[in-house]
Amino acid sequence: MTHQPTAVVIGSGPVGSAFARTLLESDPDVRVVMFEAGPQLTETPGESVRNIPDPAEKERARERSQGPLSGSYRESLGIPGTAVVEGMFTARQGTYLLDFGGEGSAHSVGFPAAAAATNVGGQGAHWTAAIPRPAFSEKIPFIGDEEWEELIGEAEHLLHKQSAAFADSALGAAIRSLLEEEFAAELPEGYGVSTLPVAGDPQPDGTMRWAGADSVLGPLIDPSSPLSQRFELRDLSLVRRVEFEGRRATGVTVQDLRTGETSVFPADLVVVAADAFRSPQLLWASGVRPRALGHYLTEHPVVISTVALDAGKMERFANEADLVEEQARRAKNPADPVAAVNRIPFSEPEHPFSVQVMYADVPPFQLDPAHPLSGNRWGYVNMGYGVRKRPRYEDGVTFDDAEPDFSGFPNMTIRYELTAAEEAEIAEATERLRRAGGALGHFVAEPRLLPNGSSLHYQGTMRAGDTDDGTSVADPFSRVWGYEGLSLAGNGLIPTATTMNPTLTSVALAVRGARQAASDLRSKGGRS
């Protein structure tokens, strides 16, 4: 009997899912087992919790994602949910701070908002689902334009890209017109004010079913598809180590969190897709310790504000009937606060920022009812300018073998600093945000820089490069330099300074990595 090749994917977020799917579609023989440390939240594995209509149920799903210290997560293991650790608090709903301050907490110096999600679907069960393409110097330098176009197109397909989301919203169009008046003359052709591409499927009633890992897994979780026969997802399964013979990965040691039992699971290929902090941590714990591991951490600093839309300005481009129509649409899905998403993309050298402009009928915080702009009839926009962070070796996460974290892994210390290069662009972004706010209405929250780590878009900690010169962890096909059968997936591979949401880029890299891994598996097994 011939040996059926087996691949293990560690982590069930959208990027690990893209790797799994591409591998199964590229190799007719391979079997893929995906291990996920967190619980399954929705009947369809990996679905966005934003699709859950009941607010209490949605809240519970978010809490269950907040790691081993959250009460609901403990309940899913049969431990009383009341045993919540003091000091535990949430970063963004569905995530938990790595430096949460309790026993076994990570340490963070200058990156206080670093956060993670532990659940089937990963952060992709909680994300905003914005999927802009990287541009100019944000792009991956070692992939040629023609191949990149194909890869990014495939990534958009896997993520159910929807560029026309809310494009019919007259209010969204009015917001674009006002921003165009202010900025169009300064923006290059093709990089002007536009709608923001998002991942999801518009529903006949005008609402959106947001995409998550479920959309990416697609046929893998559809029992009628033959691909599902070769795919298995095991939740509450924490991978503790990657196992090796010399420098060849041979499988993983995995702990079943329901029973506490640990076993070795053999595999021909191990794919580490456990996010930009926990992937390097797992590699470190497994003895894989290249110089660049954990270093070169970047995110894009974000300057944000909330603006009440000015009736007089909006009425130049939209009328009362448009407003009533928008309000009626919003009333259909009051639990989903996102509508009419616009943006100004990154371009060089004129506009080294990614701007996201989200329309909503209420501000994202409790506005004092006595505030003159409370209950603003034309609604509000939440605007954010994403700014570059230049990669530096000294920004990153290190691991301490002598100090276990709450899961028993070598604990993390994150060190991170903004430099003069970032400060200058942050100042420029703040000034532009003031202009954008002035063009649209009146500030109800003044522009401010969010604490480092707030973007949730952590990159560079296991970066890919085209030479093994100590500044990268993986080769251009996401394989760890110097190892066999060990591939990586996730935002940590992105080596460039970016200003926008990274998931689309990481899915494109996962497609490339998985195709290569399929070809490696075929040649290793003597299959053509």
Which residues contribute to the site for ligand FAD (CB under 6 A)?
Answer: 10-16, 35-38, 92, 94-95, 117-119, 122-124, 126-131, 238-239, 273-275, 278, 282, 456-457, 490-491, 501-503, 506
Which amino acid is residue 15, in one-letter code? V
> Smallest gap, in angstroms, from Cβ of residue 401 to ligand FAD?
17
CA distance 340 to 318: 14
CA distance 53 to 127: 16
> Smallest gap, in angstroms, from Cβ of residue 390 to ligand FAD?
20
For 59, the 3-state DSSP assignment is helix
Nearer to ligand FAD, 342 or 506 (CB): 506
- Verify whether residue 157 is a known catalytic residue: no
Nearer to ligand FAD, 98 or 131 (CB): 131
CB 354 within 8 A of CB 300: yes
Nearer to ligand FAD, 156 or 326 (CB): 156
**Neighbouring C-beta atoms of residue 417, cutoff 10 Å:** 13
Which amino acid is residue 432, in one-letter code? R
> Smallest gap, in angstroms, from Cβ of residue 511 to ligand FAD?
13
Nearer to ligand FAD, 379 or 492 (CB): 492
> Smallest gap, in angstroms, from Cβ of residue 152 to ligand FAD?
13
Which amino acid is residue 521, in one-letter code? L
User: Taken in order 15, 60, 98, 483, is the CA torsion positive or negative?
Assistant: negative
**Rounded to the nearest 5 degrees, what angle is found at the Cα of 101, between the Cα atoms of 98 and 104?**
70
Nearer to ligand FAD, 12 or 306 (CB): 12
3-state helix, strand, coil in the chain (%, to 5): 30, 25, 45
**Neighbouring C-beta atoms of residue 86, cutoff 10 Å:** 8
Candidates 126, 295, 351, 457; catalytic one = 457
First to last CA, the chain: 17
Residue whose entry in the numeric block shows the structure tokens 């041979």: 250
CA distance 69 to 98: 11
> Smallest gap, in angstroms, from Cβ of residue 388 to ligand FAD?
16
The residues annotated with a catalytic role in the active site are 457
